[in-house]
Amino acid sequence: MWIEYCCPQCHATCRQDSIESTDILTCQKCKLIVRIAPQSIGNDRLTRCLVCPSAELFVRKNFPQKLGVWIVTAGLAGSCVAWAWHELIATFAILFATALVDVVLYMVVPNCLACYRCQARYGGVESHGTFTGFNLETHERHRQFLARSESLAGSKKL
């Protein structure tokens, strides 16, 4: 199992492999050590985030969203150009090819777990246990909590 997370101190992106056999996470840049709670990994299953105290994780595809948006945008732009040139068959061929690429990527790319609170990602997880797909309500709750926390921290500095 591996983890990719943002260091709480220096905000560098860190990646660490074989996390089930260690009890600490170490930032390669600032050398910050995050201790893993013993109950976080039980029976080779992740029960909570290892970086923050959140127990709310969700299942997602381990695929860069920006690349997915670029694929869809390229398909849309290509089909619009073909449509402007009155190439009806080419228009739909481009759209179907884009959809086919999307389906193939969906089938090939493995799932990973992500934390709502700190956006840490966990790959190589055998079973996702009780975790489900993305929930907008849970995400919004964590986003608003973070915004309020930053607002309060900013007002205390003044």
Q: What is the pLDDT of residues 67-110, one digit of tens each?
A: 999 999 999 999 999 999 999 999 999 999 999 999 999 999 99
> Can you give the pLDDT at residue 158?
55
Residue 157: predicted pLDDT: 62
Distances (CA, A) of 66 to 42, 73, 84, 86, 123: 33, 10, 27, 30, 19
What does the mean pLDDT of the chain come to? Answer: 92
What integer pLDDT is reported at residue 10 of this predicted model? 95
More confident residue, 21 or 90: 90
Task: Pull the structure tokens for residue 60.
Answer: 């997602």
Banded model confidence at residue 40, pLDDT cuts 50, 70, 90: confident
Q: How far apart are CA 8 and CA 5, in angstroms?
A: 9
Reported pTM: 0.84
pLDDT at residue 24 greater than cutoff 90: yes
Which residue do the tokens 């170490």 mark? 26
pLDDT of the residue at 37: 86
Quick one: pLDDT at residue 153?
A: 81
